[in-house]
Amino acid sequence: MFAVPGWSVSAQTLKAETAQPENAPAAAKSKKRKRGGASATETAVTPSNVADLYETVFEGKKDSSHVKKDKADAKRQKKNSQGKAESAKADSDDVTGTPAKKQKKGEADSEVKNGAVQESERKKQKKQRKKQKENGVDNQASRHPAADAKVESSASTAKPTAVTAARPATAPKPVALTALQASMREKLVSARFRYLNETLYTQPSAEAFGLFQESPEMFDEYHEGFRRQVKVWPENPVDSFLGDIRARAKAKPPARGRPGAPPLQRSKVPLPRTAGSCIIADLGCGDARLAESLKADSSKLRVEIKSFDLQSPSPLVIKADIANLPLEDGSVNVAIFCLALMGTNWIDFIEEAYRILHWKGELWVAEIKSRFGPVRNKNAPVNHSVGHRKKVAAKKGKPASEQQAGHEEDLTVEVDGADDRRRATDVSAFVDALQKRGFVLQGEREEAVDMSNKMFVKMHFTKGASPTRGKGAKPQEGLAKGKKGFAPKWDEAGEDETSQVNEAAILKPCLYKIR
């Protein structure tokens, strides 16, 4: 090798390193800082203890000196127990003789056995702790399957403590939904409600009744979605019916010989009663909100509410198909259909209400406006061509200027594309169908039908005529003979079939758009 200027060191100047003796003073030892915060009183490393220190420091094993100390303590305890046994044996020999010797001998043997058992248990526990510590150091790389089985068996056979046995089983905490999960759940509930709603509107009530008997939970799912819909409504028709019942229950009947309040002043007209009590049948009640709200005041108002629906989620609800009610003829004073004419056989509901109502009993109906047809202008042509328009001829009793204004409004809507404000809810076909079943509208049609609400129509009828159609109608007798001398035949079956098909379409099903 070649010499580098400034880096070459002569071998003569180097001194040999000599090892310090074990008993050297502290000042002579190295003052280098120990790692890990070790103090100067640490055990000195010698050829005799280097193996033990390696096992305790690097491998994490217990110091052999402690093991020796534990063994010495165990031997000392064993000698003490044997000494006590021998002294007890000597005492029994002096006092009681041979039988006592045998008894004391047995007790001493049992003590020795107990001590040996305790010693073996203590050794097992030490071995287990030692293995666990070793497994923790080497990340359980060399764990033996037999040791695992022994530890598991000892853990399974261990008796539970009093604290563990007395601790009650805690119920799992409800999992909090995220914003996305909550939104998806809302959509699922709404979709389920739309499906059940369409099912109820497009099936006969008998099929819906059987469906809810097979799956009662579907009834709760439907009304859970229904309650969500009610929250966004400007008004719930049930609230108006509750107000009518409370107001009319407190109204007093007019004195004898004096006329009562007109039908339009409904709050002043007392409720119809039988023997001083008014029996109200809530048909298609849902969750029986009407009966629940009047439960506390029923005795004071002298009102009895009977609620019927396809399922009975509440003890106040009687499970029944409202086309076949478990009530006697003429046993009810007021029958209420609050958004309940849902089946395709809703005409059967009207006829059943006529059967159970007392004479001069009342029928209250609340329905969604969109289920009724719109009013159409008779003068509006089929096509949209201005050339086919003709000037409307003036009719008697109506000014020509007013008729011409209506004609011009049609032109502005259908030709110029202006907003159509002519369309209004037409309930005339519905009222005619009920009149054929023996119900009379209270007051004039234009005034008796309440359309003040944006969403609902409310009507009040009275059972005051004989039905001419339906199951309540009877064949007419003594008809006037025709020109050729024979009476026309009463074709009840054919009349009912054709009327049932046509009248069922008066109320359109309330369906939601498919999204």
For 268-318, the pLDDT digits (tens) are 889 999 999 999 999 999 989 999 999 999 999 999 999 999 998 889 999
pLDDT at 270: 92
Proportion of the chain above pLDDT 70, given as a percent? 57
Q: What is the mean pLDDT of residues 348-356?
A: 96
- Asked if pLDDT for residue 452 goes beyond 90, the answer is no
pTM of the model: 0.57
**In a domain? residue 442:** yes
Q: 120-148: buried (b, 16+ CB within 10 Å) or exposed (e) per residue?
A: eeeeeeeeeeebeebbeeeeeeeeeeeee
Residues in the chain: 515
Strand, helix or coil for residue 498: helix
Decide if pLDDT at 486 tops 60. no
Task: Determine the pLDDT at residue 355.
Answer: 96
Q: Which domain holds residue 361?
A: 199-253+266-375+418-472
Has residue 185 been placed in a domain? no
The whole-number average pLDDT for the span 487-491 is: 45
Q: What is the pLDDT of residue 308?
A: 97
Q: What is the dihedral of CA 254, 448, 368, 357, to 10 degrees?
A: 50
Predicted confidence at residue 160, as pLDDT, reads 47
pLDDT score at 186: 79
Higher pLDDT, 414 or 220: 220
Q: Which residue has the tokens 């329905």?
A: 367
* Residue-level pLDDT at 52: 77
pLDDT tens digits for range 190-213: 888 888 889 999 999 999 999 999
Q: Hey, what are 222's tokens?
A: 């439907």
Report the mean per-residue pLDDT for the chain.
74
Note whether residue 363 is domain-resident.
yes
pLDDT one-digit tens code per residue, 88-121: 665 555 544 454 444 555 555 666 566 666 777 7
The reply to whether 109 falls in a domain is no
pLDDT at 158: 47
Burial 55-86 (b: 16+ CB within 10 A, else e): ebeeeebeeeeeeeeeeeeeeeeeeebeeebe
pLDDT for residue 139 is more than 50: no
Confidence band of 383 (pLDDT split at 50, 70, 90): very low
Please give the Cα distance from 304 to 299 (Å, whole number). 8
List beta partners, residue 461: 363, 441
CATH code, domain carrying 239: 3.40.50.150
**Residue 376: which residues within 8 A CB-CB, separation 6 or more?**
423, 426
Residue type, 198: E
Q: What is the pLDDT of residues 141-153, one digit of tens each?
A: 444 444 454 444 4
In angstroms, the Cα distances linking 449 to 264, 372, 426, 452, 457 are 10, 13, 10, 9, 7
* CA 74 centroid distance within chain: 66
Q: Is the pLDDT of residue 480 over 80?
A: no
Our count of domains for the chain comes to 1
Three-class SS state of 260: coil
Residue 489 belongs to a domain: no
Q: What percent of the chain has pLDDT over 90?
A: 29
- pLDDT, residue 277, reads 95
pLDDT for 123: 79
DSSP bridge pairs for 303: 278
Whether 512 shows a pLDDT value over 80: the answer reads no
Classified as helix, coil or strand, 312 is: coil
The reply to whether 223 falls in a domain is yes
Q: Is the pLDDT of residue 260 over 50?
A: yes
Categorise residue 265: left if φ over 0, alpha if ψ from -120 to 50, beta otherwise.
beta
Residue 81 belongs to some domain of the structure: no
For residues 60 and 281, the model is more confident at 281
Say yes or no to pLDDT of 451 above 50: yes
Strand ranges (DSSP E) for 54-109?
none
Q: Find the radius of gyration of the CA atoms of the chain.
A: 50
Residues 6+ apart with CB under 8 A from 162: none
Which pLDDT score, from 0 to 100, does residue 363 have?
Answer: 97
SS3 306: strand
CB 291 within 8 A of CB 282: yes
Q: Does 215 map to a domain?
A: yes
317: β partners: 307
Which of 152-166, 216-230, 498-512 ranks highest by mean pLDDT? 216-230
Say whether pLDDT at 170 is over 80.
no
In tens, the pLDDT along 425-440 reads 789 899 999 999 999 9
Letter for the amino acid at 60? Answer: G
Rounded CA separation 182/177 (Å): 6
pLDDT at 185 over 50: yes
